[in-house]
Amino acid sequence: MSSVIQSIRSFLFRQSDLTHASLAVTSSLAALPALTLLSGTGLAATNLLTVSTQLGSQVYVAFVGGPTMFVNMDKVAFGNIQARLFPKFGMVGLSTGILSLASYHLAHPKSDVCTWLLFGSLAVHILNSFLIFPKTTEYMFLLRQAEKSENKEGISKNRMRFGMMHGISNLINIGGMGANMLYLYVLATRIAAIW
């Protein structure tokens, strides 16, 4: 049995970040039929846990982990760790986004503002995981190559590309945080009368 586990582990470690993100999406989608077995309370708990996990990871990455590492690590080490952490952050967002949207939709089949906020938050993680994070990392490594070769044109071009992609990633992450916060606010207004 341990050789089977070791083989699976070895296979997974050899895969790319995009493959890992695809596996996170696939496993989350595979879990969706189980949501139909939950009671209303179970759906609400699943929804609140997944949205809270997603928002917590967004806030931690944006305001605690990222800034702390930026201030306390050299540029190359910081870039290397971010290149490994951001895809994992994206996978958490993909899985929690799928489960939160599905659990809400099962309890509220008619689309409303909450449906669209959860969809927007999920869209941020899809965009980041499959486009923005890989491109940002690619441009970071191209910038490093240009800096090593002292190619001034390459440095300028790749610094601009990296900065643009990093800025887009930050902006849409803040948009996703805003969607999650607004979703929780709307939900709170709905339950305030019975709280």
pLDDT tens for the chain, 195 residues: list them. 688 888 888 888 888 888 889 999 999 999 999 999 999 999 999 999 999 999 999 999 999 999 999 999 999 999 999 999 999 999 999 999 999 999 999 999 999 999 999 999 999 999 999 999 999 999 999 999 999 999 989 999 999 999 999 999 999 999 999 999 999 999 999 998 887
**What are 26's two structure tokens?**
């696939």
Cα three-residue angle 160-138-55, rounded to 5 degrees? 90
Structure tokens at 125: 């993680």
What is the largest distance, in Å, between two alpha-carbon atoms of the chain? 65
User: How many other C-beta atoms can be found within 10 angstroms of the C-beta atom of residue 93?
Assistant: 28
pLDDT at position 17 is 86
pLDDT score at 130: 94
Decide if 1 is inside a domain: no
Asked if the structure places residue 9 within a domain, the reply is: no
128 lies in some domain: yes
Does a structural domain hold residue 2? no
pTM across the whole model: 0.89
pLDDT for res 1: 64
What separation in angstroms does the CA of 103 have from each of 46, 126, 186?
Answer: 7, 18, 16
Distances (CA, A) of 156 to 75, 96, 143, 169: 17, 37, 8, 20
Residue 44 located in a structural domain? yes
Q: How many residues does the chain have?
A: 195
Please report, in angstroms and rounded to a whole number, the separation of the first and last CA atoms in the chain.
Answer: 50
Q: Is residue 30 part of a domain?
A: yes
Q: How many domains does the chain have?
A: 1
Q: How far is CA 124 from CA 43, 79, 80, in A?
A: 23, 22, 23
How many Å apart are CA 180 and CA 57, to the nearest integer? 12
What is the pLDDT at residue 60?
96
* pLDDT (0 to 100) of residue 194: 82
How far is it, in rounded angstroms, from Cα 194 to Cα 192? Answer: 5
**Residue 7 domain flag:** no
Full residue range of the structural domain in which residue 153 is found? 17-194
3 lies in a domain? Answer: no
